[in-house]
Amino acid sequence: MTEMAHGAIPRSAGEPLIPKWWRTIDRWSLVCVLALFGIGMLLGLAASPPLAERNGLSPFYYVQKQAIFGAMAFVVMLFCSMLDPREVRRLGVIAFVGAFIALILLPVFGTNFGKGAVRWYSLGFGSLQPSEFLKPAYIILAAWLMAASQQVAGPPGRLMSAALALVIVLILAMQPDYGQACLVLFSWGVMYFVAGAPIVLLILVAGAVVAGGLLAYNSSEHFARRIDGYLSPEIDPTTQIGYAANAIREGGVFGVGVGEGEVKIFLPDAHTDFIIAVAAEEYGLVLVLAIIVLYCAVTVRSLLRLLKERDPFVRYAGTGLACVLGMQAMVNMGVAVRLLPTKGMTLPFVSYGGSSVIAAGITVGMLLALTRTRPQGRMADVLRHRS
């Protein structure tokens, strides 16, 4: 649909791929993503040496691994950003099949690394978390189904996407991984809303989520412990939330100084789930606000560019990818300041982790591909073409 009319931007015949990509890409979003990764490397230099020392490794072992993961993520992001919407759809469907099979086989071949939830495959040199890759792949597949349902004699795509979301949420809840399950359900809800879902249906879904949360609270000790800790009026200073809250409080506006923070010494996940606490303690509110602005810039710019898009698949998929990136960042930082219960969720591009960084690269790469400037034509031309 997006290629049916020309005139929005002149395009020369046989234009090389790289110049065309550079001309049509959202360069500001690309710069923001690179800035986020740079901040992640800076914080990794502060947060990971104490962990490496405890594990008997060289001081910058985790920083070096993160640099390798980042290079891989950058290559994948560039590759995905050069695809057209049809190629993004194909890649998303193939990736979904692979990630979904890997998710199903986790109880058999997966490991929990002593964290209580079987979420990873141990690869010897690292680990793989299928749910990280399943998120962007599911968004692409669900957007395709929703767009196809609007065609004449099309499949019941909305119902199929909802059924898939429910299956994925149930599998993730069994690990348990309620954080990723919430993100999958959130992405489906956002796309369904953009596709024209009635408000009554979304309210019913929200009610079902609340009922599911009550059921999980009564049946899962892991889930109940986290909710009780979140609702407790007092914070145990020896817990992760306690250390993070104290670090944020000590950091103030400008921080205690580079390398002077102490939370990285006591907090086991200072380089992953609670990396924002390291940023707040050593660099203060200034860096935290900068990180928030960068995430907001990528999300809002992408949504604004999608407002001009007439292809339903591109509109739904781009909205889902942009919102899930922003929501994951918001949840991670919300947990650190105790606005939300702990969820074990990384901060995209900033937290340490191969699966997290590479999956974020795929997410943003697909988002950049879908938000590239393409000829749209005038609405009158589109209507005349349809008639």
> Containing domain of residue 353, as a range?
17-382
Angle between helices 312-336 and 130-148 (to 10 degrees): 150
Q: Find the length of the chain.
A: 387
- What pLDDT does residue 98 have? 97
120: in domain:
yes
Q: What pairing do the DSSP bridges indicate for beta strands 121-122 and 127-128? A: antiparallel
Tell me how far apart the alpha carbons of residues 382 and 387 are, in angstroms, rounded to a whole number.
9
- Residue 95 Cα to chain centre, angstroms: 16
Q: Using DSSP, state whether 25 is helix, strand or coil.
A: coil
Whole-prediction pTM: 0.90
pLDDT of residue 341: 85
Radius of gyration of the chain (CA): 22
Q: Are 119 and 129 in contact (CB under 8 A)?
A: yes
333 pLDDT above the threshold of 50: yes
The string of pLDDT tens digits covering residues 114-153 is 777 788 898 877 789 999 999 999 999 999 999 999 888 8
pLDDT score for 14: 66
Q: How far is CA 286 from CA 37, 110, 123, 245, 248, in A?
A: 17, 40, 38, 17, 12
Please check whether residue 1 lies inside any domain of the structure: no
The pLDDT of residue 383 is 46
| pLDDT at residue 217 in the model | 82
Q: How far is 334 from 251, CA to CA, in rounded Å? A: 17
155 domain-assigned: yes
Task: Please check whether residue 8 lies inside any domain of the structure.
Answer: no
Q: Is residue 282 part of a domain?
A: yes
Q: Does pLDDT of 4 surpass 50?
A: no
Give me the pLDDT at residue 381, please.
Answer: 47
Number of domains in the chain: 1
Q: Judge whether 317 lies within some domain.
A: yes
As given in the structure block, the two tokens for residue 94 are: 């193939």
The token duo for 383 is 């209507």
Q: Across residues 218-238, what is the average pLDDT? A: 77
Residue 243 lies in a domain: yes
